[in-house]
Amino acid sequence: MDEQPPRRPGELSFAARRRLFLVGAAGLGALLLWGLFGLPDYRDVVPLYGQVINHSAVEERSSTAVVSAVNFDYRGFDTLGEEFILFAAVLVLALLLRRLSEERRDRHEWKARHEHTTSAAVRLTCAALVGPTVLLAVYITAHGHLTPGGGFQGGVIAATALLLVYLGSDYPTMQRLRPLPLVETAKAAGALAFVLLGLAGLIFAGAFLENFLPLGTPGDLVAAGTIPLLSVAVGLEVAGGFVLLLSEFLDQLLVIRRKQEADS
Amino acid sequence: MIAVQLAALLVVAVGAWATVMARDPVRQAIVVSLYGLALGLLFFAFQAPDVALSNIVIGAVALPTMLMLAIAKTKR
């Protein structure tokens, strides 16, 4: 075990803190068990809201993926909120990981770090996986209203393709494939498109995020009104957000240095 | 189906325990990646494929990557 740090006056001893924790944990455990024994068996009871949605989603929205119908239509407003939580989080991350005035960009060090660490097998595997990963991301996003998945899942998968590019090649190659102004634009355009589609619902159908497009036939790729469009909007925003997030972390690791550190 | 669900619950329990027991942050990042994958299987076994897809990418790829990049940056 680690050495105990010296105790400041007025601070609880380790034994007292452990006693406090054990009392608290016992109380929490008892409450949790009490709550767990009161839960309905999830297989027997589908809540009323679930029954209604399962019954009416395909007919009302032409979406065979009921979860997507909920996310992008019945509760589309919640998704708008979630999207802007992610937007704000990535924004703050970019702010925190920016290059400070006492830091500089090192353009040489990534070479030494990379060339000795990546085997040919890793490079080949990553290069082979980039295409299928992007294809999967597009598929998951475009089929959001048909099968499980949607813009969020597709967007994150798309961003991992960039990680594969970095692992399979080097920093400059990755840099060329993620022009940051374009990435930031895609992220903002996705968020904007979601709001505009919502406003279009307000104008053409009478309520914010109300569907205003023809519903088509359930099961078709172009169907379910605004659901696939909102899914693509979320996909753009999430892909842009996560590419930006990974880029900021990689930049911090590979090229941002304190000014007094020597070039290597 | 029950057998698959029980197996998934067991794998998640073992994964959570392993994540807590791994004391070295780098090892912990790798173990948490496997744990994220196990959680994805759990969600899938309990008929939540949408959440499973999200968790497989976020829990098994994005989170460990961010952790490892942050560890690599701060260890210099």
Which tens digits make up the pLDDT trace of A166-202?
888 877 888 888 888 888 899 999 999 999 988 888 8
Mutual angle of helices A227-254 and B63-74, in 10-degree steps = 20
Within 8 A of B70 by CB-CB distance, chain A residues are 249
Instruction: Find the closest chain B residue to A147 by CA distance.
Output: B50
H/E run at residue A26:
helix A14-37
In chain B, the number of structural domains is 1
Single out the residue of A156, A165, A252, A110 nearest to residue B70, CA to CA: A252
Do the chains contact at A148 and B49, CB–CB below 8 Å? yes
Pairs of CB atoms within 8 A across A/B: 47
A9 Cα to chain B: minimum distance (Å): 30
Query: Distance of CA A58 to CAs A77, A232, A237, B31, B59, Å?
Result: 20, 20, 27, 40, 31
A10 band by pLDDT with thresholds 50, 70 and 90? confident
The pTM score is 0.80
- Contact criterion met (CB below 8 Å) for A63 and A228: no
- Residue B46, φ and ψ in degrees, nearest 5: -95, 25
- What residues are paired with A257 via a beta bridge? A104
Q: What is the C-alpha to C-alpha distance for residues A74 and B64, in angstroms, rounded to an integer? A: 33
CA distance B45 to chain A (A): 13
Contact B73 A163 (CB under 8 A): no
How would you write the pLDDT of chain B (76 residues) with one tens digit per residue? 788 889 999 999 999 999 999 989 999 999 999 999 999 999 999 888 999 999 999 999 999 999 998 998 888 6
Residue A208: DSSP 8-state: T
Q: Cα–Cα distances in Å, from B33 out to A17, A27, A81, A103, B26?
A: 32, 31, 28, 32, 11
The CA distance from A124 to A58, in Å, is 43
> Which residues of chain B lie closer than 8 angstroms to A68, CB-CB?
50
**At CA A155, angle to CA A139 and CA B74, rounded to 5?**
140
Question: Can you tell me the distance from the alpha carbon of A11 to that of A9, in angstroms, rounded to the nearest whole number?
Answer: 6
Contact A249 B49 (CB under 8 A): no
Rank A68-77, A113-122, A206-215, B55-64 by mean pLDDT and report only the highest: B55-64
Average pLDDT of A38-46? 73
Shortest distance between the Cα of A159 and any Cα of chain B, in A, equals 9
Q: What is the pLDDT of residues A94-125, one digit of tens each?
A: 888 887 777 777 766 666 555 556 788 888 89
Which pLDDT does position B46 carry in this prediction? 87
Range of the domain at B16: 2-75
Residue A151: list chain B partners with CB under 8 A.
none
The pLDDT of residue A2: 54
Helix (H, G, I), strand (E, B) or coil at A257: strand
Q: What is B6-69 written as a DSSP string?
A: HHHHHHHHHHHHHHHH--SHHHHHHHHHHHHHHHHHHHHHTT-HHHHHHHHHIIIIIHHHHHHH
Strand partners, A103: A258
Closest in B49, B58, B65 to A163, CB measured? B65
User: Which token pair is A234?
Assistant: 């979320």
Structural domain boundaries in chain A:
15-263
Residues with Cβ within 8 Å of B7's Cβ and at least 6 positions away in sequence, in order, are B45
Amino acid at A120: A
Q: For residue A34, is pLDDT > 90? A: yes
Partner residue opposite A242 with nearest CB, options B50, B62, B69: B62
Contact check, Cβ <8 Å, A156/B54? yes
Average pLDDT, chain A: 83
For chain A, list residues whose CB is within 8 angstroms of any CB belonging to chain B: 42, 65, 67-68, 140, 148-150, 152-153, 156-157, 159-160, 163, 242, 245-246, 249-250, 252-253
**Contact yes or no for A250 and B62 at CB 8 A:** no
Is residue A7 within 8 A of residue A13, CB to CB? The reply is yes
